[in-house]
Structure 1
Amino acid sequence: MKRIQVVPGWSFRDESGNELNPQLFSLLAAIHEHGKLTAATKSVGISYRHGWNLLNTWAAFFGVPLVSMQKGKGATLTPLGDKLLWAKQRVVARLEPQLDSLTSQLNLEIHRALEGVSPLLRVHASYGYAVALLPEHASEIQLDLQYKSGEEALAALNRGVCDIAGFHVPIEGMSQAQIKKYGHYLKPRVHKVIQFITRRQGLIVKRDNPCEIQGLSDLLRDDVRFINRQEDSGTRTLLDELLRREKINPAKVSGYDDEEFTHSAVAAYVAAGMADVGIGVEAAARQFNLDFIPLSYERYLFVCHHRSLQQEAVIRFLEMIRTSQFYQAVRELPGYSPDLCGDVVGVEEALNQSSR
């Protein structure tokens, strides 16, 4: 089946309308990775001369150099070069859920225009690395995947707006407040839970952990800047519960009110040096070559009406996430496990597993 992907692009223009080459971002990323202009230009697939001219052109545009070149020490990004690189990463990371949702809608329309249309499955789910794998493996169904907060997804399921809702809960120590919140939407006689994956949440810190952060108590230090997730996210709920257990007042955490909207956006924020530590999944930390301090394991769950288990689209969905290919794709994500993926259990059993 034909699929398209929505990829954002950056454009810089001066006051005269002259547009500069977006290839600079690829070159800056390669310099950051390799530390040498020769290796960076080779990695990007351009000549050394072209790379050198590109850096000089942009340096003239901004009025300051983007790369520092020292004999015997290679090439390093200047503060502006570093900010430009990570600014792009942050924008892309922040827009991931919206872009993926738009991609899903466009691919759905393409699929509908083709002959032999497959069954439609509407999924509203909290954004995550494993959930983002679904479109790649959904060859037997039309997958309409829309990213929402866990609570929004469950509310949509109850309104009949989607067929499956996805959200995540702690594997151990789920608070009564969380059980009450999710229990408001989940009806044991109506719904069934599809086990999906487990993932590891923790603190994302700079490479080699220069601030020597060991746990949540270090967030109270004056020399530590924190970046949080948005208020309606499951990760924010998890953090608040962990802080409560350790009797840490969120108001005393520098940066608690500063928010990003995805795990990768938090990681990009830390990678850019705008914070010393953030909260997120291990896969995000590894994506940006950062270190990770585990705090808790979570179980990601899908919920559907029990009658939906007999629908062709849901049957094919279950077959898909039970395949060895999907299991392997999940295992390649740092901190993720597909154990029990595809198992169908009752609501009470699923919530009890997390409240022990």
Structure 2
Amino acid sequence: MELKAYTPDEVARIFQISKHTVYEMIKRGELQAFKIGNKMRIEHDEIERYKESMKAPARKTAPEQQQQPAPSRQIQARLAGSHDFLVEHLVKEAAAAQGLQIQPTYIGSLEGLMMVYRGQADIAAMHLLDPTSQQYNLPFIHQLFVYETISVIRLASREQGFIVAKGNPKGIIGFSDLTRKDIRFINRQKGSGTRFLLDSKLLASGIAPADINGYENEEWTHLSTASHISRGAADAAFGIRSAASHLGLDFIPVAKEQFDLVFRWTDENRETLGKLASYIQSENFKRSLSNLEGYDISELGAKIYETTQPEESANV
């Protein structure tokens, strides 16, 4: 009986995909994993089960079947970047209300933007602070996209700060508290906008990451980070107010940031992205938003920046 358990890196090599995709499969429940301490493992039997489930069904070759018209293709686009509850809501609502099938991959703002730049995704979800200009998103976009046709659409502004246990029993009020010996910290992964903001604040405060107990421990979503606080595995995290609210935790605000969607228009995705942009700007989508503690949607759907205007999306 095979008892071997694989690391996400090993699974990535088996399937010839990136380890970020493996983590995303685990988060979506497509691949079952377990933890030993902070390390993720996937059993051999689970890998074989997943392989079997992904086998394509045999083609039907009977003449009468071949003559049947092919089913209409689902409208689809690929979204990559930062994890956010509002993005999750948009993906769900766009499918239900518009039939738009958007495939999300939550791998952090920077990697999401790079995937759009490389043509591996159509939309980037991002909130990256440029430490020099103290401006969000546009400095990075200007550096990458010169000849591509893009639009930047504001989704929301949101609050970032410290997530702590209910009642803040450790009395955490600022970045200097993270260096205390009695504080266990849980971090976000490199490349995430939250990590960018945290590191910028630490640098401004003259705090070295090595002085923070747990700085090297990383999670990939706001909710999984906050869950460490909820179950007592850590004392502080840096994240968004809505994650604290979801788990009944306390929140100490530090900054307000801009969360934007970057659309890269192509001939293949123009119809899909045009419909999605129109839906984001619609009253129906705005009315669907509720219980948005920590979000400001006053600029929802606003065009922040664009290069060449796409022919079929003049309303963006």
- TM bucket, shorter chain: 0.5 to 0.7
* Aligned with residue 103 of structure 2, among 138, 144, 156: 144
- Which residue of structure 2 aligns with residue 90 of structure 1? none
Q: Do structure 1's residue 127 and structure 2's residue 86 form an aligned pair?
A: no
- Which residue of structure 1 aligns with residue 255 of structure 2? 296
- Which residue of structure 2 aligns with residue 267 of structure 1? 226
* Equivalenced residues, count: 248
Q: Deviations over 1:284-336 (max 9, x none)?
A: 11111110000111111111235679922112101221233432444423201
- Which residue of structure 2 aligns with residue 336 of structure 1? 295
Following the alignment from structure 1 to structure 2, what is the Cα–Cα distance between the partners of residues 336 and 165? Answer: 19
Given residue 215 of structure 1, which amino acid in structure 2 is its aligned partner?
Answer: G
- Which residue of structure 1 aligns with residue 282 of structure 2? 323
Which structure features the higher share of helix residues? 1
Asked if structure 2 preserves the Cα contact closer than 8 Å seen for 1:137 and 1:320, the reply is no
The 10-residue stretch of structure 1 (313-322 or 168-177) with the greater mean CA deviation from structure 2: 168-177
Indicate how the Cα distance of structure 1 residues 182 and 97 shifts in structure 2: closer, same or farther if over 3 A, else same. Answer: farther
Following the alignment from structure 2 to structure 1, what is the Cα–Cα distance between the partners of residues 129 and 176? Answer: 20
2:128 aligned counterpart, secondary structure: strand
Given residue 241 of structure 2, which amino acid in structure 1 is its aligned partner?
Answer: E
1:1-356 matches, cutoff 5 A: 98-100=26-28, 115-138=71-94, 139-140=97-98, 141-170=100-129, 175=134, 182-187=141-146, 190-305=149-264, 311-346=270-305
Indicate how the Cα distance of structure 1 residues 310 and 148 shifts in structure 2: closer, same or farther if over 3 A, else same. Answer: closer
Following the alignment from structure 1 to structure 2, what is the Cα–Cα distance between the partners of residues 235 and 166? Answer: 13
Asked if structure 1 preserves the Cα contact closer than 8 Å seen for 2:81 and 2:112, the reply is yes
Asked if structure 2 preserves the Cα contact closer than 8 Å seen for 1:228 and 1:266, the reply is yes
Given residue 125 of structure 1, which amino acid in structure 2 is its aligned partner?
Answer: G
How far does residue 175 in structure 1 lie from its aligned partner after superposition? 4.4
Higher-Rg member (1/2): 1
1:130 aligned counterpart, secondary structure: helix
The TM-score, its normalising length taken from structure 2, stands at 0.68
Following the alignment from structure 1 to structure 2, what is the Cα–Cα distance between the partners of residues 172 and 196? Answer: 22
Following the alignment from structure 1 to structure 2, what is the Cα–Cα distance between the partners of residues 133 and 308? Answer: 27
1:157 aligned counterpart, secondary structure: helix
Asked if structure 2 preserves the Cα contact closer than 8 Å seen for 1:151 and 1:182, the reply is no
How far does residue 142 in structure 1 lie from its aligned partner after superposition? 2.4
1:133 aligned counterpart, secondary structure: helix
Following the alignment from structure 1 to structure 2, what is the Cα–Cα distance between the partners of residues 97 and 201? Answer: 27
Asked if structure 2 preserves the Cα contact closer than 8 Å seen for 1:124 and 1:153, the reply is yes
The 10-residue stretch of structure 1 (222-231 or 293-302) with the greater mean CA deviation from structure 2: 222-231
Following the alignment from structure 2 to structure 1, what is the Cα–Cα distance between the partners of residues 29 and 271? Answer: 23
Following the alignment from structure 2 to structure 1, what is the Cα–Cα distance between the partners of residues 180 and 263? Answer: 44
Indicate how the Cα distance of structure 1 residues 309 and 294 shifts in structure 2: closer, same or farther if over 3 A, else same. Answer: farther
The 10-residue stretch of structure 1 (158-167 or 209-218) with the greater mean CA deviation from structure 2: 158-167
Given residue 114 of structure 2, which amino acid in structure 1 is its aligned partner?
Answer: A
Following the alignment from structure 1 to structure 2, what is the Cα–Cα distance between the partners of residues 170 and 196? Answer: 16
Following the alignment from structure 1 to structure 2, what is the Cα–Cα distance between the partners of residues 172 and 342? Answer: 26
Indicate how the Cα distance of structure 1 residues 334 and 126 shifts in structure 2: closer, same or farther if over 3 A, else same. Answer: same
Asked if structure 2 preserves the Cα contact closer than 8 Å seen for 1:101 and 1:147, the reply is no
The TM-score, its normalising length taken from structure 1, stands at 0.61
Indicate how the Cα distance of structure 1 residues 142 and 223 shifts in structure 2: closer, same or farther if over 3 A, else same. Answer: closer
Following the alignment from structure 1 to structure 2, what is the Cα–Cα distance between the partners of residues 246 and 331? Answer: 36
- Which residue of structure 2 aligns with residue 17 of structure 1? none
Following the alignment from structure 1 to structure 2, what is the Cα–Cα distance between the partners of residues 314 and 328? Answer: 21
Indicate how the Cα distance of structure 1 residues 164 and 96 shifts in structure 2: closer, same or farther if over 3 A, else same. Answer: closer
Q: Deviations over 1:31-86 (max 9, x none)?
A: xxxxxxxxxxxxxxxxxxxxxxxxxxxxxxxxxxxxxxxxxxxxxxxxxxxxxxxx
Asked if structure 1 preserves the Cα contact closer than 8 Å seen for 2:153 and 2:261, the reply is yes
Following the alignment from structure 2 to structure 1, what is the Cα–Cα distance between the partners of residues 128 and 290? Answer: 20
Given residue 300 of structure 2, which amino acid in structure 1 is its aligned partner?
Answer: C
Indicate how the Cα distance of structure 1 residues 249 and 310 shifts in structure 2: closer, same or farther if over 3 A, else same. Answer: closer
Indicate how the Cα distance of structure 1 residues 336 and 219 shifts in structure 2: closer, same or farther if over 3 A, else same. Answer: same
Given residue 166 of structure 2, which amino acid in structure 1 is its aligned partner?
Answer: R
How far does residue 186 in structure 1 lie from its aligned partner after superposition? 3.1
Indicate how the Cα distance of structure 1 residues 308 and 243 shifts in structure 2: closer, same or farther if over 3 A, else same. Answer: farther
Structure 2 alignment gaps of length 5 or more? 1-22, 32-52, 57-68, 308-316
Indicate how the Cα distance of structure 1 residues 284 and 194 shifts in structure 2: closer, same or farther if over 3 A, else same. Answer: same
